[in-house]
Amino acid sequence: MSDELLGFLKSRRSIRRFKPDPIPDEVLLKILDVARYAPSARNSQPWAFIVVKDVEVKRKLAGIHPWAKPLESAPVGIVVACNSEVSHESYQVDCASATMQLMLAAHAVGLGSVWLQTLRNVKEIQEIVGLPNNYVPIAMLALGIPDESPTAKKRKELREIVYLNKYGSVFTH
Ligand SMILES: Cc1cc2nc3c(=O)[nH]c(=O)nc-3n(C[C@H](O)[C@H](O)[C@H](O)COP(=O)(O)O)c2cc1C
């Protein structure tokens, strides 16, 4: 069972092409329910999730930079915004962990997603989805039924990234 679960975690891919089918709200709520179990500093849970279905709002978000285009064809976008005042040092990592948990939950129900960069377009995104200034968009996802099945991107070897006790010393086992 644990090998199966580990294999599942490794089988997630960024999906950038989607079928047009809408995603039922029950399914969206199911994966958002999982996302809120992500860890956060002092359990502060500084996140807010803006589910975007409106075609015009999606189009605006897809236009913030060339790599946000997958959002145009996705039936749903989700902006993960974080209250920077609740958790000054940790809000970005808190929301990154919630984003990752959301992507894995989506994968578990057969949906595909891709994380789209937001941090160079904070003001613009705040305006598009009506976020107050203290809510920073940490990530946004394009989400839907996958219409592609990409192979895994190459990963660095463990020996290149894992060390024992001190950076640079070989970890053997
Ligand atoms: C912080 C962050 C920003 C990213 N921004 C984009 C983006 O703007 N557009 C995009 O198509 N993919 C984006 N990605 C997805 C990465 O390109 C992708 O995760 C990486 O190539 C590894 O592929 P995989 O997710 O299929 O394993 C982003 C991922 C992260 C974590």
For 7-17, the pLDDT digits (tens) are 999 999 999 99
Residues with CB under 6 Å of ligand 1 are 13-14, 16, 67-68, 70, 114-117, 153
Contact indicator for 99, 138 with CB cutoff of 8 Å: yes
Distance 159 CA to ligand 1 centre (A): 23
Closest residue to atom 20 of ligand 1, CA basis: 14
* Res 96 pLDDT > 80: yes
For residue 75 the two structure tokens come to 């039936």
CA–CA gap between residue 81 and residue 147 (Å, rounded): 27
What's the confidence (pLDDT) of residue 172?
A: 76
Distance 65 CA to ligand 1 centre (A): 14
Residue type, 114: V
Residue 20 backbone dihedrals phi, psi, to 5 degrees: -75, -10
Distance 113 CA to ligand 1 centre (A): 10
What's the confidence (pLDDT) of residue 77?
A: 98
Neighbouring CB atoms inside 10 A of 136's CB total 20
What's the confidence (pLDDT) of residue 155?
A: 98
Q: What is the pTM of this model?
A: 0.97
Digit-coded pLDDT (tens) for 38-56:
999 999 999 999 999 999 9
Closest residue to atom 19 of ligand 1, CA basis: 14
Say what percent of the chain tops pLDDT 90: 97
CA–CA gap between residue 138 and residue 115 (Å, rounded): 10
Digit-coded pLDDT (tens) for 15-41:
999 999 999 999 999 999 999 999 999
**Confidence label for 83 from pLDDT (cuts 50, 70 and 90):** very high
Q: What is the mean pLDDT of the chain?
A: 97
Q: Which atom of ligand 1 is nearest to the CA of 150?
A: 26
* Res 173 pLDDT > 90: no
Q: Which atom of ligand 1 is nearest to the CA of 16?
A: 11
**Confidence label for 87 from pLDDT (cuts 50, 70 and 90):** confident
Question: Which domains, and CATH codes, for the chain?
Answer: 2-161 (3.40.109.10)
Angstrom CA distances, 47 to 30, 77, 165, stand at 17, 16, 34
Average pLDDT, integer, range 49-67: 98
Digit-coded pLDDT (tens) for 132-149:
999 999 999 999 999 999
Closest residue to atom 3 of ligand 1, CA basis: 117
Closest residue to atom 25 of ligand 1, CA basis: 14
